[in-house]
Chain A
Amino acid sequence: MKQPVNKTLWLSSAFALLLPASAMADINMFARTTGDTCFACHGPNGKGVPGGSIPPIAGKDAGYLAQTMKDFRSGKRPSTIMQRHAKGYTDAEIETIAQYLSQIK
Chain B
Amino acid sequence: MPATFDLNDDSVVVIIGTGAGGGVLANELAQKGVKVVSLEAGGRYLPDDYINDEWESFGQLAWVDPRTTSGDWRVAKDFSGLPAWIVKAVGGTTIHWAGASLRFQEHEWKAKTTYGDVQGANLLDWPIDGAEMAPYYEKAETKLGVTRTGGRAGLPGNNNFKVFEKGAQALGYKEVHTGRMAINSGDYDDRMSCQQTGFCFQGCKWGAKWSAAYTDIPRGEATGNLEVRDRCHVARILHNEAGKVTGVEYFDKDGNLQMQKARIVCVAGNSFESPRLLLNSASSMFPDGLANSSGQVGRNYMRHMTGSVYGVFDKPVRMWRGTTMAGIIQDEARHDPSRGFVGGFEMETLSLGLPFMAAFLDPGGWGREFTTALDGYENMAGMWLVGEDMPQETNRVTLNHDVKDQYGLAVANVHFDDHPNDIAMRNYAYKKGMAIYEAVGATRVFPTPPYPSTHNLGTNRMSENGRDGVVNRHGQTHDIANLFVSDGSQFTTGASENPTLTIVALAIRQADFIAGEMSRGNL
Query: Do these two chains interact?
Result: no
A-to-B contact residues, CB < 8 Å: none
B-to-A contact residues, CB < 8 Å: none
